[in-house]
Amino acid sequence: MTQHRFPEGFLWGASTSAFQVEGGYDEGGKGPATTDRGPGRPGIADNKIASDHYHHWREDVDLMAELGIKVYRMGFAWSRIMPDASGDPNPEGLAFYDQLIDYLLERGIEPLVTLYHFECPSALVEAFGGWKSRKMIDFYVRYAEICFTHFKGRVKRWVTVNEQLITTSAPSNTGDTETDPRQRQKNAYQMSYHVALAEHRAIACLRQIDPDAQIGPVVAMQVVNPRTSASADVLAAMNAEEMMQNYLLDLSVRGDISPYARYYLEREGFYPVVECGDHDILVATRPDFLGVNYYFSNCAHERTEPIRFDRFPPWSGGDFELCDNPAIAPTEWMSNGIDPLGLRVGMRKLYDRYQLPMIVTENGMALSESLDEENRVHDAVRIEYLSRHLGEVEELIREGYPVFGYCVWSLMDLCSSHQGFTKRYGLLYIDRTETDAKQCARFRKDSFFWYQDVIRENGLPC
Ligand code: BG6
């Protein structure tokens, strides 16, 4: 019996990113990428083999078809398509994605393609410093143009950038080697400003090349609860959301900067260098949709000490202090714990501010897992996590919010952004360890079969 029904045509999906699943890091003419170095810690897997999707792609699409997903939220590796600083496309890289996308379409699965998910060509960082330079904007737009032209009619939804917050503030993604914490922060704001300009120019480019296609950014949704009901904590939580989320999305969606963000950036000396004509570029286009990544909520209280810019995450410095939420217990891998209602809170706020249709592009539960004697993984905890979050999506739709799809993070176990393969999110188990990639054989977890039923029923079971 089905408890929650979803609208007809709801896009049930699953998510990965290129650098976390593909491997084949030096095959098929791919150039070195900023993310190829991995976490740089002994004993933790890097992305060189990852889930070996580069060699298992056909089997993986067959598994997606068996699962029943309607959309596969995937990424292109920028360095596979544009390996060096010449800006010329790599035919072998395009051919890899040709076969993958054609087979997805043959199996009835829509590719939702992220152009830029943390990974970018090292050649561009070496040549001119990557996103610190405005030159990177031209390279990104050229890359986008190559993709839009080549895949016209086959890819109908594009993502400009995954999680600007992490993309531009993690040195392992940008390749920025700055060591002074204040200067690194300043660089991050300059880089994200350049990314926003690049996004708007790419949107304009898509409108020319393929007016029927849609495009939007993916946000690392920040739901920041005040630690107490004191107005000073409420204001601190607002400041945190403003600088960890809204500042970036305001530029990507509306092409403007809020009064508070402008004030804060000017006060700290972080306001980006702006050139004549930028405003026109930023306001000339508007995305078609918003992709939302959500794992857990945050909590903040009033800042009483001077801001420190030398902590992790680097964006956590500001007119707020992030803290544990006393109402939510941490889990093994999620120190902020589990907060399904936070998904609804955050998506309502996003809609109120941007009025864009939304799709959940990432939502998932990290666990330490291994195969049992029967090669099974009983991940009841993940099923409960996904079920509770999907329940909130259903409530959002009932309340009238335009949510048109949901993608589980992740389709398969993959190389976590900085914690390797011990931390697993997949519906499919990848048989490898941190140090031994073995054959990367695929095994269906219990959550795979559960999600298969949800999709078949178009709703959650009781
Ligand atoms: C999102 C990213 O931030 O969170 C993914 O888009 C990432 O690339 C995911 O893997 C989970 O984070 P982590 O650090 O556990 O891999």
Mean pLDDT of 61-71: 98
Q: How many CA atoms lie within 13 A of 438 on its CB side?
A: 9
Q: Is 321 a known active-site residue?
A: no
Helix (H) or strand (E) holding 186, with range, is helix 181-209
183 φ, ψ (degrees, to nearest 5):
-65, -35
Answer yes or no: is the C-beta of 417 below 6 A from any ligand 1 atom: yes
- Asked whether residue 1 carries a pLDDT value surpassing 60, the answer given is no
The structural architecture, per CATH, of the domain 11-222+288-295+337-457 is Alpha-Beta Barrel (3.20)
Predicted local confidence at residue 68, as pLDDT: 98
Q: Write the residue with the smallest CA distance to atom 5 of ligand 1.
A: 417
Q: Which of 163, 199, 321, 369 is catalytic?
A: 163
pTM of the full predicted structure? 0.97
For the chain, percent of residues with pLDDT exceeding 90:
90
* Ligand 1 centre distance from Cα of residue 420 (Å): 11
Predicted local confidence at residue 40, as pLDDT: 66
Answer yes or no: is the C-beta of 362 below 6 A from any ligand 1 atom: yes
The pairing of beta strand 403-409 with beta strand 321-322: unpaired
Contact call for residues 175 and 125 (beta carbons, < 8 A): yes
3-state secondary structure of 93: helix
Contact call for residues 329 and 393 (beta carbons, < 8 A): no
Q: Is 163 a known active-site residue?
A: yes
- Asked whether residue 192 carries a pLDDT value surpassing 80, the answer given is yes
Nearest CA among 97, 91, 100, 99 for reference residue 77 = 97
Answer yes or no: is the C-beta of 379 below 6 A from any ligand 1 atom: no
Nearest CA among 423, 412, 405, 420 for reference residue 448 = 412
- 297-350 pLDDT, tens digit each: 999 999 999 998 887 666 778 999 999 999 999 999 999 999 999 999 999 999
Mean pLDDT of 101-116: 98
Residue whose CB lies within 8 A of the most ligand 1 atoms, among 117, 335, 409, for a mutation test = 409
* Ligand 1 centre distance from Cα of residue 229 (Å): 31
* Ligand 1 centre distance from Cα of residue 209 (Å): 31
Answer yes or no: is the C-beta of 332 below 6 A from any ligand 1 atom: no
402 φ, ψ (degrees, to nearest 5):
-80, 85
pLDDT category at 419 given cuts 50, 70, 90 is: confident
Q: Which of 362, 369, 392, 394 is catalytic?
A: 362
